Amino acid sequence: MPMSTIDFSIISKRQEQLRELLREAQLEAIAINPGPSLVYLTGFHFHLSERPVIFLLPVKGTPSLVLPELESQKVASASFEILSFTYGEPLETWGPAFEAGASAVALDGLSVGVEPGNLRVLELRLLEGAAPNASFVSGADVIASLRMQKDENELNLMREATKIAEGALQDTLAHVKENVSEREISGTLIRYMLERGSEGELPFQPIIAFGANSANPHAVPSDYALQRGDLVLFDWGANYRGYFSDLTRMFALGEPEPELRKIVEIVQQSNAAGRQRVAPGRTVGDIDSASRGIIEEAGYGEFFTHRTGHGLGLEVHEAPYVRGDSDQILEPGMTFTIEPGIYLNGRGGARIEDDMVVTQTGGESISTISRDLGILGI
């Protein structure tokens, strides 16, 4: 999402919310490198590359940004006050730029939050050299608390990403015929998503899995050619201005064997049970229990091998994670997937996935495309 699409008041509000969360967590600053959180807090887009970039936000005072000189124009258009410190191509210029950036926010001696899943050793070592008396600790929970609840603008972008994905699937289904390969259908689906307005950086390569391959939850499209009676699993998503959708739907080329149809129907019921449990005040564990209970009661519990869902937004996997052992309370604006599955190794698998948002009174499925098993080729 280009920076110009994020209003200054939104950026300012997010930074102030983060400062308050840092205080509550007894942290005095946070260090963010390129990625979704940096976009969320500043509107700045940087590729994670061999050239380090770091954003330093103190609880009090003006934030600073260390970046390559060749990307300095990105800061020139900033809609908020920020101090920038650039370095050139020689490696010996990196350390002084990090020292200047750290000094500008008085980082040395502070307790500094970082995102352990994102911050590289490269930036960490430069920060440690620039602020040797600072302590760098996990700020993952702070960032998750900030980003989990989407505002109406974010939800609208996610709705558009879902609309693009659903339309592209409908375009693609006409191409799903006997002897077509998973790889061919993946390429067709990607093309239609781009034509309908998706950004080129998709949330993930679509998982197109035919027949026995559908029993692999993270299958990679292959040259396997579709045969009559095969299940057809589509797991795909679009990117609209940086926000993602993530859906899964089930089809078959002709009528599948009875047990395969049965597991699709059980998963459909499981998905519905999970969606019905979404409401403020409940926990994500409640959702997992409701979905998993349906599959266990049907005798397929051992074949449901993953959590029920995950958060969704600027990342395809983010907080909250819909697991049975989580007591994360649902609050309005939280967005996540519900995607139960049953996987029969060597035969076929079924998964049905929807994108949900917690409302003031319950839950809303952003995705609306039919969850029934679609029979193709008849």
Per-residue confidence (pLDDT) for residue 2, from 0 to 100? 41
Question: From CA 107, how far away is CA 132, in angstroms rounded?
Answer: 9
Question: From CA 72, how far away is CA 76, in angstroms rounded?
Answer: 7
Per-residue confidence (pLDDT) for residue 5, from 0 to 100? 54
Whether 142 and 165 map to the same domain: the answer is: no
Whether 248 and 339 map to the same domain: the answer is: yes
Last residue of a domain, one of 146, 163, 192: 146
Whether 178 and 90 map to the same domain: the answer is: no
pLDDT in tens, 315-371: 999 999 999 999 999 999 999 999 999 999 999 999 999 999 999 999 999 999 999
Per-residue confidence (pLDDT) for residue 4, from 0 to 100? 39
Q: The whole model's pTM is what? A: 0.94
pLDDT at 150 over 60: yes
Under the banding of pLDDT at 50, 70 and 90, the label for residue 77 is confident
Give me the residue label for tokens 């600073």: 64
Per-residue confidence (pLDDT) for residue 299, from 0 to 100? 98
- Asked if omega into 320 is within 30° of 0 (cis), the reply is yes
Whether 161 and 122 map to the same domain: the answer is: no
pLDDT at 76 over 90: no
Whether 61 and 157 map to the same domain: the answer is: no
Neighbours of 290 (CB within 10 A): 21
Split into its structural domains, the chain has a count of 2
Element (H, E) at 55: strand 54-58
Percent of the chain scored above 70 by pLDDT?
Answer: 99
pLDDT in tens, 360-376: 999 999 999 999 999 99
pLDDT at 3 over 80: no
pLDDT in tens, 188-235: 999 999 999 999 999 999 999 999 999 999 999 999 999 999 999 999
Per-residue confidence (pLDDT) for residue 9, from 0 to 100? 87
Mean pLDDT, rounded, for 181-185: 98
Whether 99 and 235 map to the same domain: the answer is: no
Whether 108 and 184 map to the same domain: the answer is: no
Q: Which domain holds residue 61?
A: 3-146
pLDDT at 244 over 90: yes
Q: CA nearest 165: which of 377, 357, 353?
A: 353
Question: From CA 21, how far away is CA 219, in angstroms rounded?
Answer: 39
Whether 110 and 214 map to the same domain: the answer is: no
Whether 208 and 325 map to the same domain: the answer is: yes
Last residue of a domain, one of 85, 113, 146: 146
Whether 127 and 175 map to the same domain: the answer is: no
Tokens for 23, please give them.
């205080």
Per-residue confidence (pLDDT) for residue 274, from 0 to 100? 98
Last residue of a domain, one of 110, 128, 146: 146
Do 210 and 231 touch, CB atoms closer than 8 A? Answer: yes
- CATH for 140: 3.40.350.10
- CATH for 318: 3.90.230.10
